[in-house]
A and B are shown apart, each in its own frame.
Chain A
Amino acid sequence: MSAETLTLKLKVWRQPNADTRGHFETYQLSGISTQMSFLEMLDVLNEQLVEKGEEPVAFDHDCREGICGMCGVMINGQAHGPDRETTTCQLHMRRFRDGDTIVIEPWRATAFPVVRDLVVDRSAFDRIIQAGGFVSVNTGNAPDANAVLIPRVQQEKSMDAAACIGCGACVAACKNASAMLFTAAKVSHLTLLPQGKSERSQRVLKMVAQMDEEQFGSCTNTGECEAACPAGIKLDNIARLNREYLRAMLCSSDG
C-alpha cells in the first residue's frame, strides 16, 4: 500500500497529575504518513513538543504489537479507536482522513484514576486477580502434564477467555465503568479447565467482591465492552460468571 500524508487537528486531554484539573489542548499536525501507527503519530507530536520546549503528552505503551495491554486511549469517544479487535498501538493512520479532528482522552472510570495526561492507574485489575484469579499450585507440585486430559473444545473455549490482555478498554467503554468482562474472562479461563475447578466457588465470590470494592460499576449487559475489546472476549463469559456466581452462592458448601 502506498503512503499518503495527512494534516490533522488533535484535541488531547492534558492533566499534570491526579490532583489537578485537566483540560483539552489543541494541536495541529501535518505530514502524518498513513503508514504510521496511532502511537507513532503521538511520537511525532511529542518530538515536536520537546523541540518547542513544551512537555510531551504522557501515554502508556510498551510492546506496540497489541499483546501487552499497556496502551489504550479513547479516540473520538471509542476505546482504542474505530477498528474492531484492535489496540491503540495496532491502529494505523490509514484509518483517518486528511483534515480530520481527533479527540484523545484517557480511560474514564473512578476505579482508574488519571496519573498524568493519558496515563491511568489500573492497579485495581491486579487486585481483582490477587483476590482469586489463579490456581493454587506451588512450583514443583505438578503431575505430568498429560495426566489430566482436557478435551480440545474445552481448552479452546478456555483459551478464548484467557486471551484477555487486561488493557481496561471494557471498563472505559462501559457507561457504568463495569469490570465484568475482565473479571469474567479470568473466571471463565480457569473454571473451564479441570485445574481450576477445585477453587471455582471461592474464586468467583472473592473476585466479584473485590471488583465491587474497587468501585467498578454494575453490569447491565449493554455489550459495549465486547464491542471495544481488542482481544475479542465475548459476552458469553459474563453469562458464565453469573452462572458461576449463582452456583457458588446457592450450591457450594465452600462458598
Chain B
Amino acid sequence: MAIAESQILDSKVPSGPVQEKWDRCRFEMKLVNPANKRKYTILVVGTGLAGGAAAASLAELGYKVKSFCIQDSPRRAHSIAAQGGINAAKNYPNDGDSIWRLFYDTVKGGDYRSREANVYRLAQISNNIIDQCAAQGVPFAREYGGTLANRSFGGAQVSRTFYCRGQTGQQLLLGAYQALMRQVSTGKIDLHPRREMMDLIVVDGKARGIVTRNLVTGKFEIHLGDAVVLATGGYGNAYYLSTNGNGCNVTAAWRCHRRGAYFANPCFTQIHPTCIPRSGDYQSKLTLMSESLRNDGRVWVPKQSGDRRAPHEIPEADRDYYLERRYPSFGNLVPRDVASRAAKERCDAGYGVNETGQAVYLDFQVAIERDGEAAIRAKYGNLFHMYHKITGDDPYKRPMRIYPAIHYTMGGLWVDYHLQSTIPGLFVLGEANFSDHGANRLGASALMQGLADGYFVIPYTIGDHLARHQFEKVSDDHAACHEALESSQSRLTTLASIGGRRSPNQFHRQLGQILWDHVGMGRNRAGLESAIEQIRSLRAEFWEDLKVVGKNEELNQVLEKAGRVADYMEFAELLAGDALNREESCGGHFREEHQTPEGEALRDDDNFSYVAAWEFNAVGEPATLHKEPLSFESVPLATRSYK
C-alpha cells in the first residue's frame, strides 16, 4: 500500500496531569440547557453494551433518541456472549489495586499503542460502572457476607474482575437493555429493531442522519437527527471463523469510513487462546471458552511430536506445560496474545493434538484433585457443559482441546478524546472505535470500555458538540439524503442482479482463509503482499460471480449477507495494508521479521509509536495514512515481559 502522509491528527486530549484531564475536559465542555435537550434528536446505531448504555443514558438526560439494531430485539447484541467478567479498580479485595494500577496494566497490556489519557479515564470510570450495574439489579457474584466477589483474570495479578457466573456479558447487557426499555416505555426512545445501517448522511460536513434497510420488508428508510452515535462492534467476522456472532459485521463502520471517518489500526486484532478447535469445513463459528478457565486449567502438549496416545495415558514426564516452562512467573495466566502465539508455535512445530494437529490441551485434573469436582463445577459448570455439548467430550474426565481464534478487534474508527470521529457529529463507541486497548486488549476490559463509553463518556461529550454548533433543519428531500439513499439502493440492486454462480458465504469463507493464513497470528511482508493481491482478485470475482436468490423487498438473508461480504472485501485490503505498514511486532500484531531470538514480539517505538489512521480514497486505491503520535508520560515505555 502506497502511503501519502498528511496532517497530524488532533486527539483533543486536555493538558495537565493525566489524573485531572477528564475533570478538566468536563469543566471546559459546553452544556446543553435541560429544557433544550428535548429539541435534539440523536441516532444510536447498535444496542450492545455501548449503544444500549448510550441510548438509555441520553434519553434519561432528556434527548430524543432513535435506537437501531439488526437483531429482532436489542437484548441480543453480541455483548451478550462475553463470559468472564468486567474489570474495575475498586480494590475491594485489598490486594493492592488502584485506578493507577488498572491504568498502568491496561497501557502495558496494550503494548504501548493506546492513548494514555483515554485509558486513564477508563480506569477512573470503571468504579462507577460497577455501582451503576449493581443498582440496576445485575446479580454480580457475592461473598457469603453479601459483599461483591472478585476474581483474577487473564494476566492480572490483582483480583479486580466482577462477574456473574460465566454470563457476565449477558447480565450487563440485560441491565442496559432494561434501562433502554424503560426509556422506550416513557416515549423517549424510538426503537427500530431488524434495521441495518446502509449509509451515513453527511450534511455541511456534519453527520446528520443514516440510511437504513428494514430487514423484514426490504424498504429503505432515512432517519435524520443532530448527531449519530455508532456502536456497531468489531470486524472479527472478516476472518469468517471467529468467536463473534454470525450477524456481527463491519458494514456500518465501513460505510462511515467511506464517508470520511478515518479507520485506525485495523491490524490490531485479538486472537483468543482458548477456543474450541475447528472440526470441519461446514464450521460456522468458533466457540470461546472463557479464559477464566486458565486460572485452574493447565495448558500442555506432548513432549514427543506425533504422540497419539490418549491424554490420560501420557505420563507427567512426557508432557510439556509450555506456558509454565516459558513464562514461570505468569505461567498459564499470560495475556491473550502471548498465550495464542505460544500455542501456534507448538502446533506449527508438530506437537499439536487432535486429528488436525491444531489444538492443545487445557487440563483440569490437578485442580479437580486439589479442590474437588464440586468446586470446579461451581466455578465453571456452565462452560464445561457448553464444551461437552459442542464436542461430545466430558472435560471433567478428559482435558479440553483448545486452539486460538479471532475474538476481538482493537482497531476501529479513529476517535478523539470526545469519542468523536473525523466526521463532526459522528461519535463511535465500544469495540467499533480504536482508542483504549492499544495493540492488545486485556481480559474483562471490553465490557468495561463499552459501558464506560455509553454510560459515562458520551452523555457529556455529545452535549459539547450540540452546544457548540448550529443545526440547520434538514429534511428527507435534501440532496445529501437523496444521494445516500440512491447509492445504497443501487448497490443492493447490483448485488442482487450479478447472476453468477457462487453464494456470498462461499466468497466469505475464501476471504476468511486468506486473512487467517496471512493476517492471522503470524504475519510477514511476502504473505501480506500476497494477501493483498489475493483479496483484490477475489473482490473482482465477487462482483462478477456472486449469486443472490430471492427478492429485495422482503426478508432476504442471502442479500443481507452479500452486502456485508461486499464490505469485507474492501475492508480486508485495508486490514492487510495496515499490517504491512506496521514494521514492528506489538500486541496482537506479530510481524515475523520483528522478533527477539526467543521468539518474543519486538516493538519499534522510535518509528511506530503512533496510531495509524487511514483515510479512504477509492476502492482499489491506496488509503492515505494520517498519524497520531503517541506519547507515554505516565507509564514509561518498557518491554512487556511475563517471564
Contacts and interface: CB of A to CB of B under 8 A. Distances in A.
A115 interface: yes
A43 B281 CA distance: 12
A121 B71 CA distance: 11
Given A139-B56, A145-B90, A131 B549 contact: no
Interface string A140-152: 1111111011111
Given A90-B386, A123-B72, A62 B246 contact: yes
Interface in B85-119: 90, 92
A208 interface: no
Contacts of B60: 138-139
A121 B215 CA distance: 12
A151 B141 CA distance: 10
Secondary structure dominating the interface of A: loop
Interface in A25-76: 33, 35-37, 39-40, 43-44, 47, 49-51, 53-56, 58, 60-70
B148 A3 contact: no
Contact of A56 (B80, B179, B182, B558): B558
B152 interface: no
A197 to B, nearest CB: 10
Interface string B165-184: 10101110010011101101
B143 interface: yes
B280 interface: yes
B555 A119 contact: yes
Given A90-B390, A134-B182, A65 B131 contact: no
Contact of A63 (B80, B137, B146, B456): B80
Contacts of A150: 142, 146
Contacts of B147: 146, 149
B282 A33 contact: yes
Most buried by B among A56, A68, A125, A145: A145
B135 A137 contact: yes
Interface string A174-203: 000000000000000110010110000000
B284 A37 contact: yes
Contact of B178 (A33, A135, A140): A135
A198 B193 CA distance: 31
Contacts of A165: 170
Contact of B280 (A33, A56, A70, A141): A33
Nearest to B216: A115
Most buried by A among B137, B170, B174, B282: B137
A116 B167 CA distance: 31
Contacts of A135: 135-137, 178
Contact of A17 (B191, B393, B554): B554
Q: How large is the interface on A (under 10, 10 to 19, 20 to 34, 35 or more residues)?
A: 35 or more
A94 interface: yes
Nearest to A196: B137
B284 A40 contact: yes
Contacts of B455: 139
Contact of A142 (B71, B135, B557): B135
Nearest to B276: A65
Interface in B185-236: 185, 191, 193, 216
B321 to A, nearest CB: 26
B246 A60 contact: no
Given A35-B280, A122-B73, A146-B147, A47 B503 contact: yes
B170 A142 contact: no
Given A16-B554, A54-B549, A142 B78 contact: no
4 closest Cβ contacts across the A-B interface?
A149-B146, A142-B135, A134-B178, A142-B131
11 contacts: A3-B279, A47-B505, A55-B549, A67-B80, A69-B75, A92-B390, A135-B135, A136-B182, A145-B130, A159-B164, A163-B170
Interface of A: 1, 3, 16-17, 33, 35-37, 39-40, 43-44, 47, 49-51, 53-56, 58, 60-70, 83, 85-86, 90, 92, 94, 115-116, 119, 121-123, 125-126, 129-131, 133-146, 148-152, 155, 158-159, 162-163, 165-166, 189-190, 193, 195-196
Given A37-B284, A123-B73, 16 more contacts: A40-B282, A51-B503, A54-B549, A55-B550, A58-B557, A62-B76, A66-B389, A68-B71, A130-B184, A135-B136, A139-B132, A139-B179, A145-B131, A150-B146, A163-B170, A196-B137
Interface of B: 53, 56-57, 60, 71-76, 78, 80-81, 90, 92, 128, 130-137, 139-148, 164-165, 167, 169-171, 174, 177-179, 181-182, 184-185, 191, 193, 216, 245-247, 279-280, 282-285, 287-288, 385-386, 389-393, 455-456, 459, 503, 505-506, 547, 549-550, 554-555, 557-558
